[in-house]
Amino acid sequence: MSERILVVGPSWVGDMVMAQSLYMTLTARHGVTVDVIAPGWSLPLIRRMPQVADGIELPLGHGQFAWATRRHLGRQLRQRHYARAIVIPRSFKAALIPWHARIPVRTGYRGEMRFGLVNDIRPLDPGVLRQTVQRYVALGLPVGGTLPPVPQPRLTVDTENQSRLTRDLGLDEDGPVVALMPGAEYGPAKCWPLSHFSQVARRLGEQGYRVWVLGSAKERSAGEAVIAGAGGMAVNLCGETRLEDAVDLLALARHAITNDSGLLHVAAAAGCNVIGIYGSSTPAHTPPLTDRAAALYLDLECSPCFRRECPLGHLRCLREITPTRVLESIRALEADARDAGVVE
């Protein structure tokens, strides 16, 4: 019987996708069974990760402490006899369930005052582990272990759901598809101007591409603005799809043009070319985890600030990434594909 490991997963879409690299490392190197505790919204995404045996819902909202709920879930999990827990978040509350579950080895980075809750405390050196995904994978290695090549996340695609979506949403696949993702949950300092997205949509539509705008219901108005500025040469799907639907639609797209958001990482794991646009963040920390990507970043003197809104009020880091540069990135990715013998 294989050793069973419980992972306390992160709380953001992009981080949950990047965490698949940890699950892949654990199952490939150690042959273990991996279960993941995660927010309910992420369970359909986790089901697209073959390395995870069971996704366990954490029935709490973002940031909720709820000691009693965590204690109850931890006690329920004692019967699974986990050999080890890996706690990805660095908060005190994230370490409570493995402690209540009496899991003997509880691994995590030094964070909030949680000595005892985490008994295999790892120091985090940002100079060595620069990328978020490297930090996740390192938690699955022995102390002092050499970081291996990080496996790229790859989500399973449901072809039946693809067919249903294209039929029900009336999507035209007669021509290459480009997906635009103009939202970013973190804030406007990560959002490329909607007028830039519109220009790209118009020019791609004129070249025969089918342009789909993806996002949550909160981004519906942003999608409408992109459509209006593009002269109708795009379809607004914001709010029309579930998270798992986005996986299947992105797998149909040739290119995804996206802010540094959760859907950037979903697109990379779904297998399409990714043009990632970075403003207040940096691709040094959260790059697209695919070889088929272009990360556009100006590296201004004020970058990266990691703020939700531009503290200087000019948002040059995003405004000065031009639509022309994005279109040039698409042409370069297509040229690379032709050179590699992949038909684009």
Hey, do 4-138 and 160-339 end up sharing a CATH topology, with the first three levels equal?
A: yes
Match domain 4-138 to its CATH number in 3.40.50.620, 1.10.8.100, 3.40.50.300, 3.40.50.2000.
3.40.50.2000
262 SS3 class: helix
- What does DSSP assign to residue 52? E
| Euclidean distance between CA atoms 122 and 152, whole angstroms | 24
Q: CB of 260 within 8 A of CB of 145?
A: no
Judge contact between 258 and 276, C-beta under 8 A: yes
pLDDT at 1: 61
Beta strands (DSSP E) in the chain are 4-8, 33-39, 52-58, 84-87, 105-109, 120-122, 177-181, 210-213, 235-236, 255-259, 273-277, 293-296
Cis ω before 104 (30° cut-off from 0)? no
Top CATH class, 160-339: alpha beta
Q: What is the pTM of this model?
A: 0.96
pLDDT above 90 as % of the chain: 87
The contacts found for 38-47 with CB under 8 angstroms, 24 or more apart, are 38/9, 39/11, 41/243, 42/9, 42/13, 42/16, 42/243, 44/242, 44/243, 44/244, 45/13, 45/16, 45/17, 45/155, 45/243, 45/244, 45/247, 45/266, 46/9, 46/16, 47/244
CB count in 10 Å sphere of residue 99? 19
User: What pLDDT, on the 0 to 100 scale, is given for residue 343?
Assistant: 56
Query: Domain residues of the chain, as ranges?
Result: 4-138, 160-339
Q: Can you read off the two tokens belonging to residue 164?
A: 């249903």
Quick: pLDDT tens for 108-124: 999 887 889 999 999 99
**Structure token pair of residue 45:** 């995404």
Q: Which token pair is 338?
A: 């032709």
pLDDT for 30: 76
DSSP assignment string, 268-287:
HHHT-EEEEE-SSS-TTTS-
Given its phi and psi angles, is residue 328 left (phi above 0), alpha (psi -120 to 50 degrees) or beta? alpha
Instruction: Say what the pLDDT of residue 222 is.
Output: 96
d(CA 55, CA 228): 40
- Spell out, as residue ranges, where the chain has pLDDT lower than 50: none
122-157 pLDDT tens trace: 999 888 899 999 999 999 999 888 899 999 999 999
Residues in contact with 79: Cβ distance below 8 Å, sequence separation at least 6, in sequence order: none
What tokens were used for 179?
A: 């997906």
What's the confidence (pLDDT) of residue 82? 98
How far from 11 is each of 58, 64, 168, 299, CA to CA, in Å? 10, 12, 30, 28
pLDDT of the residue at 244: 97
Residue 250 near residue 214 (C-beta atoms within 8 A):
yes
Task: Give the pLDDT confidence score for residue 224 in this predicted structure.
Answer: 96
